[in-house]
Structure formats: structure tokens, C-alpha cells
Amino acid sequence: MNSDFCRLSGEDAARLKFIGKRASKVLYAVFRMAFLIAVGYIVIYPMLHMIVSSMQSKYAFLNSSRVWIPSDLSIKENYETALLCLDYVTSLISTLKNEIVAGLIQVVSCAVAAYGFARFEFKGKKIKLALLFLTIIVPDMMLLIPRMINYSHLDFLGILALANKITGVDVRPNILGSVITFWLPAFFGVGLKSGILIYIYIQFFKGLPRELEEAAWVDGAGPIRTFCNIAVPSSSVVIITVFIFSVIWHWNDSTLSGMYLLGEYPLALQVTRLESALSDKAGLLFQPRDPQSMAIVMAACILFITPMLIMYMILQKWFIESIDRVGITG
């Protein structure tokens, strides 16, 4: 009798334990889903608000209640004004010329630098790595004035300054106002946020198996040939990721563009100048709470981010795969 009672009690305990595990799994799944929905809402809501606001007329904008499908639309007027104020086609071409080329240059220069750090031992490697990580911490604004001075009298190791002293003729070129101010740092691996891009490459190259490279070295291939024939073909995924990061960071930059590109305004800078453009080109007085002005500003923001969204949608497969493959190794 007592043994039956103990056996039934054991079965009940096991059943209760099983029910408890199932309940905890269900609660965890519900909590995770609720958390993801909340995060998704926080991320998506501003975008939806911007899209809807860009299509509304000024009368619908005055309505305090949020209507996700507005009945009073002014899409054509808002977007035509935004295109005019942004000087969209000219600014888009200028932006692509600056950012896409700088991104391609950074893809190559950062890969070369990272491969050296990941695969070779050399004197002062740890110090150079520390300096590389320091560039990630130091804000670009701290280097703004020194770079402006350098770009206004471009020199390399003081050679042109020495020639100036000898000949009395200043041959140092002024590259301010030229896209070279973006291309030159990218070429030497010190462009916009290059430290982060090099670090991403380093982690990827450390994860590549050495067998193919060692076989190439046995066959007599040097470092350059090994890099070009072995490392680069194996790195297509991370190359796309670095390219996306580089282009987006250049695309969103307005400070450096405003300081270096004199008279040439990329889209990011045009968005910051929208207040004066509304007055000069559209004859509208910008006011922070003016419904018509805000609708045009929202339309301008949509036009600004659309090219990057299209690029990401095209490359997202390789981007996600790269994020999954690039690990943090010692």
C-alpha cells in the first residue's frame, strides 16, 4: 500500500516536473515574441510615421489623431518640392561619385592592411594594432582641423616643403574642395572609420584555414600572389559587408563633406541645408511646427535614405552571411 502511494507520488512529481518545463518554455517563447514585437515596433514606427507624414497635406498634418492611411494626400507636391530643394539628381551623382569610389578604395586598402595583421608577425605589431584601435575611439572631429591644414598644403614627409624652401616656390597643392580629400585617406587605409573596417577584416582572415595559403607558399607564391589568389576569392562575403559599412558611413556624413567639399553638396549636406533651401528655392519659410514644411522635410528624408535601402535589399543575403561568419577571435 505504501509502495503504491510512493510510486504514484513519484509519477505525480515527474508529471509536475514535465508540466513545469513545458510551462517555462511557453512563457519564455511568449516573452521573447513580445520583446521582439516591442523592439520591432520601436524600430519600424519612426519609418512608418515618416512615410505617412511625407504623403499628407498640410491640412491632414494638423489633425492630432494618427491616421496611417491618410485620405487627404499631397504626394506629388511634397516630393516635387523636396526634389527641388535637395537638387536631387545633381546631389545624388555627387554623392555616388564620392561615397561609392571611397567605399571601393577602402575595401581594397583595409583588406591589405588587415591581411598583414592577421597573417604575419613583424616588429611593433602590437603597438600598431593598439594605434589602430585607438583610431576607432578617437572622434573624426578631433582630426578635422589638422586635416584641413594638411589638405590646404598637401605634402608627403615634408618633401614639397623642402622644395619650397630651396626654390622659393610653393608647389604644395590645395586639394580642398576636391573629392581627393575623401579618396586619399581611403587609399592609405585611414579613411572614415577605417579602423573598424580593418578590425572586421582581421577577424575574418583569422578564421580562414591556413592550408591553402601554406600550399601556395610551398609552390613559391609570395604574399601578394597568395593574398590576391587565395585570400580575396575566399573573402567575397566580408568584402560586401565592409563595402556596405563604408558606403553608409560616407553617405550619412555631412560634417566632413561640409568642410572639405567646398561648393559641392552631397545629399547628407543638402538635407542639413533644407531650411534655407525651402526659402531660396521653394519660397517657403521653414518653421519647426509648420505642417507644410514638416511634410516636405519628411519627403526629403525618404528620398535620402531610399538609395541605401535599395542597396541593402540587394546585398542583404551576403551581409547577413558575413555577420554570421565573422567571429571575435584572439
All domains in the chain, ordered by first residue: 87-272 (1.10.3720.10)
Question: How far apart (Å, rounded) are the C-alpha atoms in residues 223 and 244?
Answer: 27
Burial of residue 223 (CB within 10 Å: 0-12, 13-18, 19+) is middle
Q: How far is CA 319 from CA 198, 205, 316, in A?
A: 16, 16, 5
Greatest alpha-carbon pair distance for the chain in Å reads 114
241: nearest Cα among 179, 325, 298: 325
Q: Give the rounded distance of the alpha carbon of 240 from its chain centre.
A: 12
Handedness of CA 232, 235, 237, 241 (dihedral sign): negative
Q: Kindly report, residue by residue over 272-317, the tens digit of the pLDDT.
A: 777 777 777 666 655 655 666 778 888 888 999 898 888 888 888 7
Which grid cell is 231? 585570400
Q: Kindly report, residue by residue over 20-77, the tens digit of the pLDDT.
A: 777 788 888 888 899 888 888 888 888 888 888 888 776 666 565 556 666 677 888 8
Do residues 181 and 266 lie in contact, with contact meaning Cβ atoms separated by under 8 Å?
no
pLDDT of residue 111: 92
Question: How far apart (Å, rounded) are the C-alpha atoms in residues 268 and 291?
Answer: 23
Q: Kindly report, residue by residue over 127-181, the tens digit of the pLDDT.
A: 888 888 887 887 777 777 888 888 877 777 677 777 777 777 777 777 777 778 8
Do residues 177 and 260 lie in contact, with contact meaning Cβ atoms separated by under 8 Å?
yes
Question: How far apart (Å, rounded) are the C-alpha atoms in residues 58 and 289?
Answer: 11
Mean pLDDT in residue range 211-224: 83
Q: Kindly report, residue by residue over 75-93, the tens digit of the pLDDT.
A: 888 888 888 888 888 888 8
pLDDT of residue 64: 54
Per-residue pLDDT at 211 exceeds 50: yes
Q: Kindly report, residue by residue over 95-141, the tens digit of the pLDDT.
A: 887 778 888 898 999 999 999 898 888 888 888 888 888 878 877 77
Q: How far is CA 170 from CA 6, 28, 189, in A?
A: 100, 71, 28
